[in-house]
Amino acid sequence: MILQGKDIEKSFGGLKALNGVSFELGNNEVLGIIGPNGAGKSTLFNIICGVYSPTKGSIHFEGKNITGLKPHDIARLGIARTFQIAHAFRDMTVLDNILTALGIDEYNGIVSMFKLAKKSDTVESAMSYIELLDLKDAANKKAGELSLGMMRRLEIARALALRPKVLMLDEPCAGLSYDDADEFINLISMLKGQKISIMMVEHNMNVAMRACDRLVVLNFGEKIAEGTPNEIQNDPLVIEAYLGKEE
């Protein structure tokens, strides 16, 4: 197990967005967090990444309590995330976007970041992520010119450039075409071969079922089920909470 959440509670004023949620992410596992609108998926994700502090409970990474650490400290420890709304620098090329991400290990402010980017082994390393994410033809295009599918891949390339142990994906398939979503599922299985653990928030049940080894289902801030996609698919509580609403 690489990442663990214990009894996480998060209140926003009078609203309990999360109520006693626990989860475990195994080494080299793809764990999906699913559930209807407002279930608390993004809140859980943001607590893990340090955007919010939990009202109660704790997060442990490689056995170490990381609850309440700042987002950049959590990133540095080895938990990288993508954002639901693409955060790439739109006026920079794909290559420069990844070079910028590669600077984080020696980050001392923007100047050293760009000095580092000039080293050719850094460029080589950036190109390896570009190839991995099938962005070679777009390497010198500005990020702002990319299709949504490519932009999402750039986001993942930037996250991978941080050499994370855990990759957190925030609704990676939102807005993607069927073909792009399909390609994404292939990408996830490819990444699984690379000694990385993945946790993804996914609204699309079909994508979650196909991409994830195991699913945690949230509803109204509580974990209502947990198991393999097959187990989840047949769980009456899940059908009632999730599938029932979809139909």
Ligand X SMILES: Nc1ncnc2c1ncn2[C@@H]1O[C@H](COP(=O)(O)OP(=O)(O)OP(=O)(O)O)[C@@H](O)[C@H]1O
Binding site for Mg ion (CB under 5 A): 42
203 binds, among ligand X, Mg ion, none (CB under 5 to 8 A by kind): ligand X
Q: Per CB under 6 A, does 203 bind ligand X?
A: yes
Q: Are 152 and 184 in contact (CB under 8 A)?
A: yes
Q: Per CB under 6 A, does 246 bind ligand X?
A: no
Q: Which two tokens stand for residue 240?
A: 């009632």
C-alpha dihedral, 203 to 209 to 215 to 220, nearest 10°: 30
43 binds, among ligand X, Mg ion, none (CB under 5 to 8 A by kind): ligand X
CB atoms within 10 A of CB 108: 10
Taking CB under 6 A as the criterion, the residue among 3, 8, 17, 80 binding ligand X is 17
Q: x/- site string to ligand X, residues 25 to 44, per CB under 6 A? A: ----------x-xxxxxxx-
Could you tell me how many residues make up the chain?
247
37 binds, among Mg ion, ligand X, none (CB under 5 to 8 A by kind): ligand X
Minimum separation from the CB atom of position 100 to ligand X (A): 28
141 binds, among Mg ion, ligand X, none (CB under 5 to 8 A by kind): none
Minimum separation from the CB atom of position 121 to ligand X (A): 40
Q: Per CB under 6 A, does 50 bind ligand X?
A: no
172-195: b (≥16 Cβ within 10 Å) or e: bbbebeeebbebbbebbeebbeee
Q: Would you give the DSSP letter of residue 134?
A: T
CB atoms within 10 A of CB 138: 21
Burial label for 38, CB within 10 Å (0-12, 13-18, 19+), is: middle
Minimum separation from the CB atom of position 44 to Mg ion (A): 9
List contacts with ligand X (CB under 6 A).
Answer: 12, 15, 17, 35, 37-43, 203
